Chain A
Amino acid sequence: MSSFPRRHLLQIEGMERPEIDAVLDLAESYVLLNRTGKTPRDLLRGRTLINLFFEDSTRTRTSFELAGKRLGADVLNMSVSTSSVNKGETLLDTAATLNAMHCDLLVVRHDQSGAPHLLAQKVEASVVNAGDGTHEHPTQALLDALTIRRRRGRVEGLSVAICGDVMHSRVARSNIHLLLTMGARVRVVGPPTLLPAEIERLGVEVFHDMAAGLAGVDVVMMLRLQRERMARGLVPSAREFFRFYGLDQAKLAAAAPDALVMHPGPMNRGVEIASDVADDPIRSVIREQVEMGVAVRMAVLDRLTRAALANA
């Protein structure tokens, strides 16, 4: 078995290619097991997985819950309101509570960048970052890579365009790190007000025009545009955004004929993506991404548990 020495999965940045390959290979095997219903339910038996979500997310939480249960873990969901008076105090108080409960795996979603890193310093459990602020969402990038790999047989050498609100997207950051590490070429496409400063220094090519940005790409990854970006004046309106950056069939025509369309969900139909593209049975792999999500999360829980056992 290849080694997975890390105790936590906090970010893709800094992960090496062999480690990513190993997770994807393992996830691949879980895809088959999931389809046949023969998952190893004894692997996490007696272990406690807590889904600690400081931010609403039905999709990611359910995916982790299913992954944990299919491996036999006791899964608990804790939703913590971030509207409470002192968020930070809650975070460290929660860490103390979790230590007292002897939790083994802690899956954290938080609206603040770096929150899982802070928790990882304080808890005894293995921490999985399920999305922190505008920083990273590592399992999303892993499941996206698995989806691409299964469809195209490889990630290396492919050209991927990540489009829309890159500035506020943890999905974009994790994907940029992972795709570049795996040898893909990465473009980001969006209005200058939604691209973070010096993003090109991460190794991506920057485009402000969808036709140019999508020209010939193998994969189009759309990002969710939250309504509050409009309220903050970063884009004037949803309809203007859709006109210039929403993925419709006309814009998609610039990409390679067999280009895949991806979206981390939940989608804003008619804002960043047209319904007929999202539901395109040939090119859209959005539903497949959800299936890969469970398999990837099983692989991550599997490896973190084995690493914890090896280090115990």
Chain B
Amino acid sequence: MSDLFIAGAHLLDPPALDGSGGLLVRDGRIAARGPGLAAPDGVPVLEADGAVLCPGLVDMRVSLGEPGFEYRETIASAAAAAAAGGITTLAALPDSRPAIDDPALVRLLRARGEETGSLTILPYGAVTKRCEGREMAELGLLREAGASAFSDGGHAIADSRLMRLALAYARVFGGRIVQHPEDPALAAGGCATEGELATRMGLPGIPAAAEAILIARDIRLARLTGGAVHFAHISTAESAALIRRAKAEGVDVTCDTAPPYFDLNEHAIADWRTFAKLSPPLRPESDRQAIAAALADGTIDAVASDHLPLDPDDKRLTFAQASPGGTGLATLLAVTLAQVHGGALPLARAIHLLTRAPARLLGSPAGTLDEGAPADLCLFAPDRGWQVQSGKLPGKAQNTPFDGRALEGRVLGTWKAGRRVFG
């Protein structure tokens, strides 16, 4: 079964592998890989023609429509979109309906991932019951059931005492506390970054300080407790600077960002484009540049899609009334590669940020081309162009903030445990 030899690829699994060679899959696992490898007799050969072969991508921040919002997206449709995007492992946020605050639900989500045959779902456990920010959830039992880390998804853990307790308590079981860094009181009612553009459009603003304030507080709480905090989708220059300094001081702090925050700026919302309404909101160009720089200098530990599926009716509203969020599974790789093509990010670092780095943060063995590892693979042509078109993306949800964006980097094939699931 599922034996395969991929020949003539650019093998990329930094820091170990970055060069041409072949890769042999036997029984769904990587049996050998490297330069000068020949296909054994009887194994089907796929000629890669110099395309990049890297580990299947690991997406550490995804909202799934299921459970609770199946009209927006099901796990099956998300799996199809993930496969088309080269993603073979994703971490699912817990603020679904019901929230993933019970060990049985963690097991259910893992099993639902396995049923797809193409995707490993690593569930986040809720930090608080029903993700309501009031009472701590059963972090120990959630972890035992397989929660990879803890988060309240798109809800910030606003209460300082609760955050302190969670950081301290989670140390016993491992698993980072993943924070949505936005002070809810400062952000209340806002739908765009506070500043000239929001003022011109007459939209209630969210000050960039709402993000920095929670990050500064949680860094301090991480120092107090010795806990491990991870900041999701950071979007401002000030956030990157705070995290950079905390890392230098030895605090156990990590962070990710999402493609909109290094590829788009706030002007994407001009003409009232609700597809560009995100949480956190898109920022001024200076912040976009700072986030791109923080990707390259190592401040940012991972790139995640921040995929959030919505129905057309959630977006066909006035700007303030539309739901925030964008799809991202199908565009994660190519938008990240735009940084590579623009010369801001080495290709090897880009792939690291999409594979091994997030896998490590989640304590997952995925995201490598190590011999013996499951053959979760992504083969892509880094220079092949395509255009993002809402309505023609894989999967059900079509609310992409990148609609109309011309990109370079096309996934040619995706394999899960040696079985081809896309291409």
Contacts and interface: CB of A to CB of B under 8 A. Distances in A.
A88 B311 CA distance: 14
Nearest to B191: A113
Given A87-B318, A118-B272, 9 more contacts: A88-B316, A88-B321, A113-B318, A114-B201, A115-B318, A134-B203, A135-B202, A136-B202, A197-B199
Interface string A196-214: 1111011000000000000
A61 interface: no
Chain B contact residues: helix, strand, loop or mixed: loop
Interface string B141-179: 000000000000000000000000000000000000000
A132 interface: yes
B396 to A, nearest CB: 20
A196 B198 CA distance: 9
Interface of A: 13, 87-89, 91-92, 110, 112-115, 117-118, 132-136, 170, 173, 196-199, 201-202
B195 A170 contact: no
B195 A91 contact: no
Contacts of A89: 313
Interface residues of B, number: 22
Nearest to B314: A88
21 contacts: A13-B200, A87-B317, A88-B313, A88-B321, A91-B317, A91-B318, A110-B318, A113-B202, A113-B203, A113-B318, A113-B319, A114-B201, A114-B320, A118-B272, A118-B317, A136-B202, A170-B202, A196-B198, A196-B199, A198-B195, A202-B200
Contacts of B205: 196-197
A199 B199 contact: yes
Interface string B182-195: 00000000000011
Nearest to A172: B202
B202 A197 contact: no
A113 B320 contact: yes
A114 B318 contact: yes
Residue of A110, A113, A117, A136 most packed against chain B (CB within 10 A): A113
A113 B199 contact: no
B196 interface: yes
A112 B321 contact: yes
Contacts of B133: none
Contacts of B201: 113-114, 135
A202 B272 contact: no
A202 B199 contact: yes
B198 to A, nearest CB: 7
A89 B194 CA distance: 27
Given A197-B195, A197-B196, A88 B272 contact: no
B316 A202 contact: no
B229 to A, nearest CB: 29
A112 B207 CA distance: 20
A92 B314 CA distance: 13
A198 B202 contact: no
Given A92-B316, A112-B321, A135-B202, A117 B272 contact: yes
Given A132-B202, A170-B202, A173-B200, A114 B319 contact: yes
Nearest to A113: B202
Contacts of A173: 200, 202
A196 B200 CA distance: 9
A110 B198 CA distance: 18
A154 B198 CA distance: 31
A91 B204 CA distance: 21
B194 A197 contact: yes
Contacts of A87: 317-318, 321
Contacts of A134: 202-204
A291 to B, nearest CB: 27
B316 A198 contact: no
Residue of A110, A173, A198 most packed against chain B (CB within 10 A): A198
The 6 closest A-B pairs by CB, nearest first: A135-B202, A88-B317, A112-B318, A134-B202, A113-B202, A196-B199
Contacts of B195: 197-198
Interface string B313-354: 100111111100000000000000000000000000000000
A234 to B, nearest CB: 12
Contacts of B317: 87-88, 91, 118
Nearest to A132: B202
Interface in B45-97: none
Given A115-B318, A117-B272, A202 B196 contact: yes
Nearest to A196: B199
A108 to B, nearest CB: 12
Contacts of B320: 112-114, 133
A293 B322 CA distance: 33
Contacts of A112: 318-321
A18 B198 CA distance: 27
A202 B199 CA distance: 9
Nearest to B207: A197
A120 to B, nearest CB: 10
A198 B199 contact: yes
Contacts of A199: 199
Contacts of A201: 196, 199
A133 B200 CA distance: 12
A197 B196 CA distance: 6
Contacts of A118: 272, 317-318
A201 B198 CA distance: 12
Given A112-B321, A114-B318, A197 B198 contact: yes
Nearest to B198: A197
Nearest to A88: B317
Residue of A114, A135, A170, A197 most packed against chain B (CB within 10 A): A114
Contacts of A91: 317-318
